[in-house]
Chains A and B, each alone.
Chain A
Amino acid sequence: MKLQREVYIAGVGETKFGKHELNYDALGRIAALQALRDSNINRPNVVQSAYVANATNGLVTGQTVLKDLGMCGHMPIINVESACSAGGMAVHMAIRDVATGFAEVSLGIGCENHTLELQAGTTFKPSISDIEGMQGSVMTGKYALRAQRYMYETGATIEDLAMITVKNRRHATNNPFAWFKGEISVEQVIGSRMVASPLTLQQCCGIADGAGAVVVCSAEMVKKLGIEKPIRVAGTVVQSGPYHNRPRDITGDDITETTSEQLYHESGIGPEDIDIVELHDAFTISELLYYECMGLCAKGEGLKYLRDGNATYGGKCVVSPRGGMLSYGHPIGASGAAQIAANVKQMRGQCPGYQVDPIPRVAVSHVTGGGLAGTEHAACTMHMLVSDW
Chain B
Amino acid sequence: MADNSPKKDITFFHPDLLDISADGQACLKGYRCKSCGQLDFPKLSPCPNCWGEEFEVVPLSKTGRLYSVTDIFIAPAGMATPYSFGYVDLPENLRIFAQLEGPPGSFKCDDEVELTTGTIRMNRDGLPITSYKFKKTN
Contacts and interface: CB of A to CB of B under 8 A. Distances in A.
| Candidate in B41, B85, B97 with the most chain A CB atoms within 10 angstroms | B97
Contact of B109 (A126, A133, A140, A148): A148
A145 B86 contact: yes
Interface in B36-94: 40-42, 48, 67-77, 79, 83, 85-87, 89, 93-94
Point out which of B69, B70, B72, B85 has the most chain A C-beta atoms below 10 A from its C-beta: B70
A149 B70 CA distance: 10
Interface residues on A, range: 35 or more
A18 to B, nearest CB: 20
Contacts of B98: 135
B72 A141 contact: yes
Contact of B68 (A138, A149, A194): A149
B17 A131 contact: yes
A172 to B, nearest CB: 24
A243 B48 contact: yes
Contacts of A135: 85, 97-99, 120, 131
A136 interface: yes
**Contact residues of B: prevailing secondary structure:** strand
A193 B73 contact: yes
Contacts of B40: 245
Nearest to B79: A136
A197 B69 CA distance: 9
B108 interface: yes
Given A132-B97, A152-B108, A245-B94, A195 B79 contact: no
Contacts of A144: 70, 72
B121 interface: yes
Given A125-B77, A137-B97, A245 B67 contact: no
A247 B66 CA distance: 11
B134 to A, nearest CB: 11
A195 B82 CA distance: 10
Interface residues of B, number: 38
Interface string A233-256: 000000000011111101000000
A246 B95 contact: yes
A116 interface: no
B68 A134 contact: no
B36 to A, nearest CB: 15
Interface in A141-196: 141, 144-149, 152, 193-196
A123 interface: yes
A141 B75 CA distance: 9
Contact of A149 (B67, B99, B104): B67
Interface string B97-113: 11100001100111000
B131 to A, nearest CB: 7
A244 to B, nearest CB: 7
Contacts of B108: 152
Interface of B: 13, 17, 40-42, 48, 67-77, 79, 83, 85-87, 89, 93-95, 97-99, 104-105, 108-110, 120-121, 129, 131
Given A122-B76, A145-B70, A145-B87, 16 more contacts: A123-B76, A125-B77, A131-B97, A134-B121, A134-B129, A136-B76, A149-B67, A149-B109, A152-B68, A152-B110, A196-B74, A197-B73, A197-B105, A245-B40, A245-B42, A245-B94
22 contacts: A125-B76, A126-B76, A131-B97, A133-B76, A134-B13, A134-B121, A136-B76, A136-B79, A136-B85, A137-B85, A140-B74, A141-B72, A144-B70, A145-B87, A146-B68, A148-B68, A152-B108, A152-B109, A152-B110, A197-B105, A250-B67, A373-B97
Interface of A: 121-126, 131-138, 140-141, 144-149, 152, 193-198, 243-248, 250, 373
